[in-house]
Structure 1
């Protein structure tokens, strides 16, 4: 509570008491009272007045500080009226009722927004599952009737499938715990599956693959990790330069297995590197590549955080290396060693 403003608000009350004091002095002197009696009465008045004001100020300050502390502890501060006590003063009770009404209205609006978001999320998921059927059918038709134009069509279908997957995982990323299954998986297998998912894109772009031998197994959700790798592969093609090279490798680092996805593309500017995982951030490269949305790496970071996978980007201006750090416990480390 602001002390200066509190006392400033009490100025009318103090002026009223001052005027009453002056009127009392005049009255007492006219009635023939001595100066000493008048001064004694004024001193008693002033002491009682100031004591009451300071006591009221201290009590109000304690109450306000308690409310501020309670609000600071709450994660949803609009619920302050649910945890605060009913005030003693009549005017404070009016503000208390207003807070209760505002809190109730806020809860109703939040509930409505959450219902709308859930309905929209369910609609998006249903739509994506429905659209996957014709995409799969078109891919089968094109693979059974190989011509030059069907190869082009397969590439576009692969992109369409990747974009629908991106939309699906974006919708589910808020509650990944409801959709993932953590189990032992081979890094080599998941890497080759991700490469197969993007085979037409890699062939069309002339990307040379270098996949080192990977004997490590980790515990995570294979489907989500595969999606993360698909996003990284798409970025390699999108930001390629000259003869593109995509390299997969692993290394041990204390209690972690590090999967490195490295390319020789245009790289990332040092100024942009700290922000590459921010939502919607495209940086200097995004201005050169019109297809950049700033969603791919953001989704990778969000999903990695949910799955407990460390993700980091390195670039020296030429080429980029994205590292995925999988934690392993001591037992798994000994068995794999």
Structure 2
């Protein structure tokens, strides 16, 4: 509370009391009262007024500071009215009712927005599932009629499939707990699955694959991890060199299993590395290639955080290495 402004607001009351003291003093003197009596009465009045002002200001300050502290601790400050005690002062009661009305309006708006988001997410999920049917049908048609043209179509279909998956997982990323199942998985199976998802794209770009000791077992959701690997593989191909190569290997460090996805691509500028997981950030490479959206790595990081998986990128002149860190749960392993 600003004391200077508060005292300024009380200035009319102080001037009225001062005028009352002067008027009373003049009246008593005109009535024949002694100066000592007049001074005594004025001093008592002034003392009572000062004590009242000090106690009133102190109580008011404590009340308002407490409200500010409660508001600062709330994640949704508009709910302050629910934690406030109904005030005793008439003017505070008016502001309390205003806060209640504002809270009600805010909750109604939030409820409407949340419903719109749910409806939009449901529509996106339904659209993705519907569009997957013609994508699968086109894949089957191309695979049943092999040719250079059909292989080119299959490569583009893999890109379309990855983009639709990206859309679906983005829509679900806020509610991963409703769509994952933690179980024991072989990392080699997930890696092979991700490679199979991109086989035509890898073949078209003549990408060589190396698997080095990917034998570890972790507890996670294989579908989500496979999606993350698809995004990382897609990025490696997008920013490839003339003879692209992808290497997968694992290491154990203390209580973690590290899955490395290493490429020999053009790498990431050192200045861009701290921001690669920001939504919409494309960096120098994205500006050069033009078709970068800045969503893939952002979504990978978001999903990893939800699943408790560490994700980091290291880059240099020899390409980029993505590292997925899985925690080893010794209780589950021993059980």
TM-score by length of 2: 0.96
Residue 15 (structure 1) aligns with: 15
Contact 1:268 1:318 in 2 (8 A): no
Contact 1:270 1:317 in 2 (8 A): no
The structure 1 segments of at least 4 consecutive aligned residues displaced by more than 4 Å after TM superposition are 331-335
Contact 1:209 1:246 in 2 (8 A): yes
Query: What's the secondary structure of 2:235's corresponding residue?
Result: helix
How far did 1:331 drift?
5.1
Distance 1:271 1:40 in 2: 78
Q: Which shows bigger deviation, 316-325 or 172-181?
A: 316-325
How far did 1:221 drift?
0.4
Alignment of 1:260-279 (within 5 A): 260-279=260-279
Residue 151 (structure 1) aligns with: 151
Give the aligned CA root-mean-square deviation in angstroms.
1.4
How far did 1:330 drift?
2.4
Alignment of 1:23-34 (within 5 A): 23-34=23-34
Alignment of 1:143-292 (within 5 A): 143-292=143-292
Contact 1:260 1:324 in 2 (8 A): yes
Residue 40 (structure 2) aligns with: 40
TM-score by length of 1: 0.96
Contact 2:239 2:265 in 1 (8 A): yes
Distance 1:239 1:180 in 2: 30
Query: What's the secondary structure of 1:280's corresponding residue?
Result: coil
Q: Which shows bigger deviation, 27-36 or 135-144?
A: 27-36
Q: When the two structures are aligned, how many residues end up with a matched partner? A: 335
Distance 2:152 2:242 in 1: 21
How far did 1:198 drift?
0.5
Unaligned runs of 5+ in 2: none
Unaligned runs of 5+ in 1: none
Residue 106 (structure 1) aligns with: 106
Distance 1:212 1:175 in 2: 34
Query: What's the secondary structure of 2:267's corresponding residue?
Result: coil
Query: What's the secondary structure of 1:85's corresponding residue?
Result: coil
Residue 125 (structure 2) aligns with: 125
